[in-house]
Structure 1
Amino acid sequence: MNKAFTKEDDGSTPERLPDLPISGHPNHVTPQGLAALKARHASLEAEVNRLREGREFLDDLHPLAVAERDLRYVEARLNTAILVPPPEGPCDQVLFGATVTVADEEGRQASYTIVGEDESDPEKRLISAFSPLARALIEARVGDIVEWPKPTGVVELEVRRVTYRA
């Protein structure tokens, strides 16, 4: 084959990594989640610019490709974000953005905050609105008993408290 018809990688352009998968669920975000997405966007933009400026010194262009892929993902999430503000005034019903304190059958209490997918962090008890626990809690009110389906069986939880971040 003639060399004129082949493309050799000279390292001048980074590889384009495939985009990260985007959830098919509505992209609801809390005010805090939207602020976090905006901060992540700014950070990634700065990282991409820094890597592009210094790429002639890079032996590996993979970090630039990763940063560009992550920036595309965050831009897509920002473009589809649906801000869900907390309810005005007192509300004892579990809705998106609620922090819910529940008690299990043994009386052990735990609190969870229902957030958007990008904001979820189970270690911090920030659970996605599409998780089984959140789906069990949504629309419940203080005093209600909900059933949380788990792989080990159904757990009954009593809703003890519902609060919203301002």
Structure 2
Amino acid sequence: MQRYPMTPAGHLALEEELKHLKTVERPRITQAIAEAREHGDLKENAEYHAAREQQGLSEARIRDIEAKLGGAQVIDVATLPKDGRVVFGVTVVIENIDTEEQQRYTIVGEDEADFKINKISINSPIARGLIGKSEGDEAKIQTPRGEVEYEIVEVIYGE
């Protein structure tokens, strides 16, 4: 069984999304299909086909979430030893050695990642390059613009 690392907050968010899909979206889509059927000929009924497509997407997402929750490996960073190493769930401040520009990222699971708010996936190149390193270490990370060297300035547990 595939394991899906996630924070407690990410696990809760998936549970809430699953509940919403099952209790709100599924009945709404079923009602939309029933109403579209009442309009007659289904071959040329765009509302019916749109509702059926939406139903398929919703059911696929439900199956995806259920699989991820079934294989969830919830990691609470508060329970980990605080030894200055970069691990899943921490927030890390890194500095580009060439430009001295600092960036702050929190390493989270796939479904929690949102680059706009500096949450990066454990599977991202940046996270993979930082995992296991400690404060003061340097990490070479392959980016689309080439290799970039960063120094780990700070590792924050439980932010």
Aligned to 1:95: 87
Distance 2:93 2:82 in 1: 16
Q: Which string of whole-angstrom CA distances, capped at 9 and with x for unpartnered residues, describes residues 72-117 of structure 1?
A: 1111111111111114364411100011011112211110111111
> What is the total number of aligned residue pairs between the two structures?
143
The 4+ residue runs of structure 1 with deviation greater than 6 A are none
Give the CA deviation at 1:152.
2.2
> Which one has the bigger helix percentage?
2
Offset at residue 54 of structure 1 (A): 4.4
AA aligned opposite 1:92: G
What's the TM-score once normalised by structure 1's chain length?
0.78
Unaligned 5+ runs, structure 2: 37-46
What is the alpha-carbon distance in structure 2 between the residues aligned to residue 49 and residue 41 of structure 1? Answer: 13
Alpha-carbon distance in structure 2 between the residues aligned to 1:44 and 1:91: 40
Is 1:72 aligned to 2:50, yes or no?
Answer: no
Residue 43 of structure 1 is aligned with which of 20, 27, 30? Answer: 20
2:150 partner letter: L
1: CA distance, partners of 2:123 / 2:55: 32
Percent identical pairs in the alignment equals 32
State the alpha-carbon separation in 2 of the partners of residues 69 and 29 from structure 1: 20
- SS of aligned partner of 1:110: strand
Secondary structure at 2:134 match in 1: coil
2:154 corresponds to: 161
**Contact 1:91/1:163 (<8 A) preserved:** no
Q: Which amino acid aligns with 2:59?
A: E
Shift of 1:162: 1.0
Residue among 84, 96, 103 paired with 1:104: 96
RMSD: 1.9
**Aligned 8 A contact 2:78 2:158 in 1:** no
Unaligned runs of 5+ in 1: 1-23
**1:25 to 1:144, Cα distance in 2 relative to 1, 3 A:** farther
**Conserved 8 A contact 2:85-2:135:** yes
